[in-house]
Structure 1
Amino acid sequence: MYPYFNSSKMFFFFILIFSTLISISSNSWLGCWIGLEINLLSFIPLISNSSNLFSTEASLKYFLVQSIASINFLFSILINMMLMKNFELNFFIMIMMNSSMLMKMGSAPFHFWFPNIIEGLSWFNSFILMTWQKITPMIILSYYFNKNFIIMIIILNAIIGAIGGLNQTSLRKIMTFSSINNLSWMLSSIIISENLWIFYLFMYSFMISIMCFLFSMLNMFYINQLFINNMNSLIKINLLINFMSLGGLPPFLGFLPKWIIINFLIMNKMYLLTFILVMMSLIMLFFYIRITYSAIMFNYLKLKWFKIYVKNNSFILMNIFSFFSLTGMILSTFLYL
């Protein structure tokens, strides 16, 4: 899946995991900050590649953005320590800390770096950036957040994630805006409960891993490759199932965590927020359907001399994942029994 994953890259990958554990198990703000810095310095060697200028540019941009967010976080920690008894400034310190964490995870309106950086990454690195790299900022955010500010951010994420993906032809950028939209659901779940957030993150990571695995296996980066390349019809059906699951369409697995969050939001009388999240999910489903429609229906550009062959083991694994995606409605039915 990742051709440059040698022993040195493996070492930095383990450091990346270890740095997240440092941050989430720390009992001080400074310990959290140290974990974030180790995380940053271990992820850059993973994404940088001397033979690819795009990945080198992406690693430089990532370093600059994450450094700015870390400086803001450290600055807000220091102000908080010095002015702990000044309750008038607590709100501004809280907003600064929240904003720095939102910038680190690529949340709207601090998402400006996210689509540009992911365009220069491989599918494996894109998967790490869309899933694992969100864990530490999310947990730190859950310690100290302003609820009204986070609700405003949730609405922005839902709208920007849905609208931003409409005019894209790059599959990596579509996945990025999908990640921004899903971030609104994650933030909603972390307001409700950390256990619900863990469940949603696990389900989202499972779904996005299938998509990244598929696109990496087929070596696809743009929408037009889906109907120019001569693909097996079963691969196209797998794409359809997994895209619909990622969009949260009811018969599929992706609907289950979204349904639980909708139930909790309605119980807490957050009707407007629920309405916005559901409406934006429909827009997300629109451009997922556009991609799968292109893949399934446009067969006029079949190239006889170019055919994609998929290894049997990978194909079996892909079918198993798709079968799991179809079990969402069964799980949803028995959840409240």
Structure 2
Amino acid sequence: MFNNSSKILFIMIMIVGTLITVTSNSWLSAWMGLEINLLSFIPLLSDNNNNNLMSTEASLKYFLTQALASTVLLFSVILLMLNNNINIEINESFTSMMMMSSLLLKSGAAPFHFWFPNMMEGLTWMTALMLMTWQKIAPLMLISYLNIKNLLLISVIFSVIVGAIGGLNQTSLRKLMAFSSINHLGWMLSAIMISESAWMIYFLFYSFLSFILSFMFNIYKLFHLNQLFSWFMNSKILKFTLFMNFLSLGGLPPFLGFLPKWIVIQQLTNCHQYMQLMVMLTMTLITLFFYLRICYSAFMLNYFENNWIINSQFNNFSMNLYLTFSFFSIFGLFLISMFFFML
């Protein structure tokens, strides 16, 4: 059990660890930053104030997976230092591939994704949000330094396929968000292959949309799909904005979530990567299929609803914050288009 001050301290240490990794000028100091980040995030995972019996299992899975990735990364860094300083003949491409594989394992990209969906099932929404967003910054930044095209291409294809197929029959919202995160990670890795700034733009938009949904789920304590159809019957605005945010996260135009995909599509087209783009777009259509399947009945005019009313746990500030963010999520593409048109 941790109080709020302890949680804030761990979050600050976690932020410092990520900043050390991002700003480091050597692989050893980057590894140290990743370890500081790991050791500060584990207490946040194992905090079971919400009486979640799976939180301890999730923290153990995270520790074992990240420890394995850190061991491989440190071993690769040592081999690289031996190659540079003592002139021992070591295949540098093999060493770089080991480093890249360990970083893909840390970020949860396919085919190294085995730990990610099951671990998400044992987290609260706020720790899940941190895992889906902040914990990916340092590995993705280091991956952008290596940028091994062949291995990245394999991971991109696997990530978009696993993220699309894995979410089809899910009833757990946390696993649904986990597979969505894997799919979006494939798009971010694809952006890394092309541009240094494109993946950062994509990451910022993805973090914003994930925050909106996680904020809503955390307020209402929603964890399964069947809860969505009985908890928002007393508020049509909340229901429609929630499902439109789902579609925005899936990248359906004209919502804001389509903008980062638009940027990546344009850059892949300029680089003539048509086969890769076709696979990514096909898998994105599958993700949109199961998002639309969730939203379809709620958008119907003759949809039969339950008659009972559940008291809302929103206060005025939370409601205004959620509706403001949802407004930018739903109409953001229009606003940005108007801004550039005015320029």
How far residue 240 of structure 1 moved from its aligned partner, in angstroms, is 2.0
Within a 5 Å distance, the mapping from 1:13-52 to structure 2 comes to 13-50=11-48, 51-52=51-52
Aligned to 1:175: 177
SS at structure 2 position matched to 1:110: coil
How far residue 95 of structure 1 moved from its aligned partner, in angstroms, is 1.2
Aligned to 1:255: 258
Change (3 A) 1:262 1:5: farther
Q: Give the TM-score normalised by the residue count of structure 2.
A: 0.92
SS at structure 1 position matched to 2:140: helix
Tell me the distance in 2 between the aligned counterparts of 1:204 and 1:182: 8
Tell me the distance in 2 between the aligned counterparts of 1:4 and 1:170: 27
More off after superposition, 239-248 vs 287-296: 287-296
CA contact (8 A) 1:236 1:292 kept: no
Aligned to 1:218: 220
Within a 5 Å distance, the mapping from 1:120-139 to structure 2 comes to 120-139=122-141
Within a 5 Å distance, the mapping from 1:102-113 to structure 2 comes to 102-113=104-115
2:191 is aligned with 1:189: yes
AA aligned opposite 2:155: I
Q: Return 5+ residue gaps in structure 2 as ranges.
A: none
Q: Return 5+ residue gaps in structure 1 as ranges.
A: none
Tell me the distance in 2 between the aligned counterparts of 1:335 and 1:280: 30
Change (3 A) 1:4 1:221: farther
Change (3 A) 1:335 1:267: farther
AA aligned opposite 2:317: N
Tell me the distance in 1 between the aligned counterparts of 2:334 and 2:259: 7
Aligned to 1:73: 73
AA aligned opposite 1:17: I
How far residue 295 of structure 1 moved from its aligned partner, in angstroms, is 4.4
How far residue 198 of structure 1 moved from its aligned partner, in angstroms, is 1.4
Aligned to 1:202: 204
2:332 to 308, 324, 327: 327
Aligned to 1:229: 231
CA contact (8 A) 1:228 1:303 kept: no
Change (3 A) 1:5 1:163: farther
Tell me the distance in 2 between the aligned counterparts of 1:263 and 1:12: 40
AA aligned opposite 1:327: G
How far residue 312 of structure 1 moved from its aligned partner, in angstroms, is 2.4
Tell me the distance in 2 between the aligned counterparts of 1:329 and 1:305: 35
How far residue 18 of structure 1 moved from its aligned partner, in angstroms, is 0.4
Tell me the distance in 2 between the aligned counterparts of 1:243 and 1:273: 25
Tell me the distance in 2 between the aligned counterparts of 1:289 and 1:218: 22
CA contact (8 A) 1:160 1:180 kept: yes
RMSD: 2.0
1:311 to 301, 311, 315: 315
SS at structure 2 position matched to 1:194: coil
Tell me the distance in 2 between the aligned counterparts of 1:156 and 1:174: 17
2:281 to 257, 273, 278: 278
Tell me the distance in 2 between the aligned counterparts of 1:68 and 1:335: 46
How far residue 322 of structure 1 moved from its aligned partner, in angstroms, is 1.7
How far residue 102 of structure 1 moved from its aligned partner, in angstroms, is 0.3
More off after superposition, 225-234 vs 92-101: 225-234
Within a 5 Å distance, the mapping from 1:125-164 to structure 2 comes to 125-164=127-166
Q: Give the TM-score normalised by the residue count of structure 1.
A: 0.94
More off after superposition, 283-292 vs 294-303: 294-303
CA contact (8 A) 1:253 1:327 kept: yes
SS at structure 2 position matched to 1:53: coil
CA contact (8 A) 2:255 2:333 kept: yes
